[in-house]
Structure 1
């Protein structure tokens, strides 16, 4: 297994399997499901993106660890851990599994449920590393955007947008405005908005002109 990590970017952990210590957050999830565990137990799960809830860890198994050996699975949850989930912010220490270790544990066959969290229209947006600098930590589909007014003298304003899809050529993106602007741009929380990536002498920005 890989070394235990203290911090990784969302890009580095999404769609990766991990062995996690049972911290208070995971203990709460297990308790809510009336699932017992032993003090030495760990759990095996996968990080994925829930469009609304953000980067999420889904627990598939309980396991035990012996130095120099693959985890020994002791309990497997029904429906590949449906309902045994928590946000990545609530995780304690964990160790990412290599693809080889995940394959040896037959974990790669357990990911079919992910199709429900990866509609085709959002897959291409999630693959775009050029958007990573604008993404909210822990909420992979949410990006910071500068709101501009086309015809009125309104000070530009920073807002959050939850991306839904992009145009065929990738030049523009569509998403939902997540917060109400302070100024009257004619756009409101919950409205669909068009966003594009621009670059000038000050750097690169995601902007929406309304």
Structure 2
């Protein structure tokens, strides 16, 4: 059985999937007034929240009978969020055959509320740098800082915009070395090919 942690965010984004139940999911169902099925999981919709990382919206618990998935009553007006980092060890089945109609309004609300800016969407679409992305926060990118007489240092930068062909992001951690920039500063960076690999580089 495939686990959430084994998949790239692109495979789960804007997909309804069936997640196995762990303790966190069981607690969320209980808080939402839903029971966790003994033999089944939850139907969930995957999307990217720039601040919160890859997120699943729990739509409803579901029973599994052989190859058949039977959705159980959910709470249509309540948002029940599950961050990917809370579900990495859960089993996942992509694209289960279920009627999407009961969930279309909630999915539309999510897609509108978390629609990225044009620039963020452009950076998010670059799969060449997926190895540099945080596994749970797709818009957070490991950028290598380079400066003469300094050791290369990797820092996390959150994608924000594109300006004159360069990516711009917010520095998420304080560098160990003095580059003249600090946490929360905006940092320009470039996508650079080295051999067969691509890296994100910021030169000072």
What range describes the TM-score normalised by the shorter chain of this pair? 0.7 to 0.9
Which sections of structure 1, spanning at least 5 residues, go unmatched?
Answer: none
The 5 Å alignment of 1:7-156 reads 7-69=6-68, 71-79=69-77, 81-82=78-79, 84-91=80-87, 92-97=90-95, 101=97, 104-106=99-101, 109-110=104-105, 111-112=107-108, 113-121=110-118, 122-149=120-147, 153-156=149-152
Which of residues 170, 191, 194 in structure 2 aligns to 1:197?
191
Contact 2:175 2:182 in 1 (8 A): yes
Aligned to 1:194, what secondary structure does the other structure show?
Answer: strand
- For residues 102 and 158 of structure 2, the distance between their equivalents in structure 1, rounded to whole angstroms, comes to 30
Aligned to 1:77, what secondary structure does the other structure show?
Answer: coil
- For residues 132 and 108 of structure 1, the distance between their equivalents in structure 2, rounded to whole angstroms, comes to 30
What is the aligned length?
197
- For residues 188 and 208 of structure 1, the distance between their equivalents in structure 2, rounded to whole angstroms, comes to 14
- For residues 119 and 164 of structure 1, the distance between their equivalents in structure 2, rounded to whole angstroms, comes to 10
CA-to-partner distance for each residue in 1:73-118, whole Å, 9 max, x for gaps?
2212233x51x111223222121115xx35x433673421222112
- For residues 202 and 14 of structure 1, the distance between their equivalents in structure 2, rounded to whole angstroms, comes to 27
Name the TM-score, length of structure 2 as normaliser: 0.85
What RMSD in Å do the two structures reach over aligned CA positions? 2.3
Matched with 2:203 is 209
Q: 1:187 to 1:56 in 2, by over 3 A?
A: same
Aligned to 1:155, what secondary structure does the other structure show?
Answer: coil
